[in-house]
Structure 1
Amino acid sequence: MTTAVVQDYMTTNPHTVSPTDSIETAIKLMEEKQVRGLPVVDEGGKLVGLITEADLIVREAPLEPPVYLTLLGSVIYFESPEKFHHHLKKTLGMQVQDAMTTNPITTTPTTPISEVAQAIVHHHISRLPVLDETGGLVGIITRHDLMQALKL
């Protein structure tokens, strides 16, 4: 029995957007193609991020400034101000690069399905871009694809 690998179940040539595409363009493409996330690639076809429904939903969530305490003229944050700034950028951004997740977890065509399943569960994600040995995007594998692998 051979071990199932990513290339056996991934979607090849996935639909993509560029960092400078509008958020509206990404939403329309996701709706049109009925996908929940899109790889974001630069002009050379290299992966620079991933934009998902979760990234877009964050835009609609109310902004909550970080909780802090002032003590003797110093500010002590109980939450990360960077997290607030990141949420603010996603909320106000107009381009894909403003809302996307940078440095997404990726995989390769020859990675065993079991490792992808472990990554998806461990990192609470739904999809992984698939990169070749040069870092070029060659596909995407999703939870749905993993379900197909389980059928066999």
Structure 2
Amino acid sequence: MGIKSFQGIRRTTKKEFDAPILVEDYMTKKLVTFTPDQSILEVMEALAKFKISGGPVLDDNGFLVGIISEADCMKQISESRYFNQPILDKSVEKFMTKEVETIPHDISIFDAAGIFDKHHRRRLPVMKDGLLVGQISRKDIVIAALKLSGQNYK
């Protein structure tokens, strides 16, 4: 008679992931914001000063009404040269993107990566209960992924 190998009943082990994976864990919370009545020149100066590529536009009550980016500023620069007009007198409201795609604070960075891929945005405002609480960029998602790749499953 041959020898039988018996390991017994195998325990089911649940793999736990202890690294933070939510958007709110990686978003930027201290934002440079703009108002609709600011001039494009002020925005360009702020973008250069803070080394950012865009930011949310808030009304007087602090509600998100748009987003302004370097690309929006480029449109103004191009048009001002074409029509030979100064940049100074144009307001953010004329050039900002008004239909803003936002992202909830409590979704995973994996879902956020899918949204970035689908909508081809560089940054997304992060909302909680209808209020702006931060902003997440593609770079933030990449950094989060690098941090997660260093984590081990238990």
Partner of 2:103, secondary structure, is: coil
Identity over the aligned pairs, expressed in percent? 34
Distance apart, 1:106 and its partner CA: 0.3
Match of 2:67 in 1: 50
- Between the aligned partners of 1:44 and 1:110, the Cα distance in structure 2 is 24
TM-score w.r.t. the length of structure 2 is: 0.74
The gaps in structure 2 that reach 5 residues or longer are 1-16, 80-86, 148-154
Task: Find out whether 1:141 has 2:136 as its counterpart.
Answer: yes
Letter in 2 for 1:143: R
- Between the aligned partners of 1:42 and 1:27, the Cα distance in structure 2 is 19
- Between the aligned partners of 1:104 and 1:18, the Cα distance in structure 2 is 15
Task: Find out whether 1:118 has 2:119 as its counterpart.
Answer: no
Match of 1:34 in 2: 51
Match of 1:94 in 2: 90
Distance apart, 1:124 and its partner CA: 1.1
Distance apart, 1:117 and its partner CA: 1.1
- Between the aligned partners of 1:143 and 1:31, the Cα distance in structure 2 is 20
Q: Which has the higher strand share?
A: 1
Letter in 1 for 2:139: H
* Partner deviation per Cα, 1:105-137 (whole Å, 9 max, x = no partner): 10121011112111111111100001111x211
Match of 2:30 in 1: 13
Specify the structure having the higher radius of gyration (Cα). 2
Partner of 1:39, secondary structure, is: strand
Partner of 1:98, secondary structure, is: helix
TM-score w.r.t. the length of structure 1 is: 0.75
Match of 1:78 in 2: none
Distance apart, 1:54 and its partner CA: 1.4
The gaps in structure 1 that reach 5 residues or longer are 63-90
Task: Find out whether 1:130 has 2:147 as its counterpart.
Answer: no
- Structure 1 runs of 4+ aligned residues shifted over 2 Å read 58-62
Partner of 1:122, secondary structure, is: helix
Match of 1:104 in 2: 100
Distance apart, 1:103 and its partner CA: 2.0
Letter in 2 for 1:30: L
